[in-house]
A and B are shown apart, each in its own frame.
Chain A
Amino acid sequence: MEAEAIRDLLARAFPDAVELAVEDRTGTGDHFQVAVTSATFDGLPLVDQHRRVNAALAASLADGSIHELRIKTKGTP
């Protein structure tokens, strides 16, 4: 899977994101690190922030095109 495809999915799920980074950690197209900073996360516990990122990428997680996903989320100051 292309990092760009993941970026699009996240951009659609978090249109107000002030930071959105996707990195193919191993160059194998299935281990990704994503970082999202959005006001959507303000006041949410970490587990709920990550739930929303998992939901945005649910199909790719389910079909295995994402084998490993590392997530970093932040609210806005």
Chain B
Amino acid sequence: MKALREQIESVIKEEPVALFMKGTPQMVMCGNSSRALNALHAAEAPITTVDILPDPRIRQELSALSGWPTIPQVFVKGELIGGADIVEELLDSGELVQKLDGALGSDRPREVKVVALELG
């Protein structure tokens, strides 16, 4: 079983858009996670979500990697975009769609995926 940090790194590097959140798209557990999810939906992004609630180590390892202390955290092609405030602000300014078009093309897929990390 891959170490937690490696699993998190793989999601960040391999998924086009990664959203580390509290809960899942079907059951969002926090206002800011919901704001980030809705902004990504509005920008027609493919979204791979990871729930950080099952184990506090997930958030510790993630924040150690990203240097960002809060949840949610959004990455596009491995690059930290930020939390809910920034994703919303970029959506409102049009920069989020621009960034997604540039990184993934305007004909990008839209599917939403949930990745469950293996917790030893």
A9, CB-defined interface residue at 8 Å: no
A72, CB-defined interface residue at 8 Å: yes
Q: Is the CB of A47 within 8 A of B86?
A: yes
A1, CB-defined interface residue at 8 Å: no
- Residues A46 and B69 in contact in the complex (CB < 8 Å), given A71-B85, A72-B85: no
Main secondary structure of the interface of B (DSSP, over half): mixed
- Chain A contacts of B30 at CB under 8 A? 68
Q: Is the CB of A46 within 8 A of B86?
A: yes
Interface range, B side: 10 to 19
A54, CB-defined interface residue at 8 Å: yes
B16, CB-defined interface residue at 8 Å: no
The residues in A between 55 and 77 inclusive whose CB is less than 8 angstroms from any CB of B are 58, 61-62, 68-72
Question: Chain B's nearest CB lies how many Å from the CB of A70?
Answer: 6
Q: Which residue of A lies closest to B93 (CB)?
A: A46
**Which stretch of B6-14, B46-54, B75-83, B100-108 is in the interface?**
B75-83
Measured CB to CB, the residues of B under 8 A from A are 30-32, 67-70, 80-86, 89-90
Contacts A46-B82, A46-B90 aside, 11 further interface pairs with beta carbons under 8 A come to A47-B86, A50-B83, A50-B86, A51-B67, A51-B68, A54-B68, A54-B70, A61-B70, A68-B32, A70-B32, A72-B85
